[in-house]
């Protein structure tokens, strides 16, 4: 049986934290930034934690 491959797209989008939670980056921060406020753009820079309902599925994709 060959090794399982991790999902490369998911590996680039998600990272595991030290405690094992899944971190994601926020959308809407790449272009058309002139109409967005400084506060909104600043908050888009911060990472967010994946919801627990999706975490198990994402962990399987990035660690297989």
Mean pLDDT (whole number) for 54-64: 91
Closest CA to 16 of 50, 44, 43: 50
- pLDDT tens digit string along 6-57? 999 999 999 999 999 999 999 999 999 999 999 999 999 999 999 999 999 9
- What is the reported pTM? 0.78
CATH code of residue 29: 4.10.410.60
Q: Which domain holds residue 17?
A: 8-63
Please state the length of the chain: 64
Question: Considering the domain boundaries, does residue 2 fall inside one?
Answer: no
pLDDT at 64 over 80: no
Total domains in the fold of the chain: 1
What's residue 20's pLDDT? Answer: 93
Q: Which whole-number Å values give the CA distances from 22 to 2, 3, 17, 29, 35, in the listed order? A: 26, 23, 6, 20, 30
């Amino acid at each position: 049986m060959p090794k399982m491959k991790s999902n490369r797209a998911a590996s680039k989008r998600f990272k595991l934290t030290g405690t094992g939670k899944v971190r994601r980056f926020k959308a809407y921060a790449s272009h058309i930034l002139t109409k967005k406020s400084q506060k909104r753009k600043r908050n888009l820079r911060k990472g967010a934690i994946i919801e627990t309902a999706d975490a198990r599925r994402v962990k399987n994709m990035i660690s297989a």
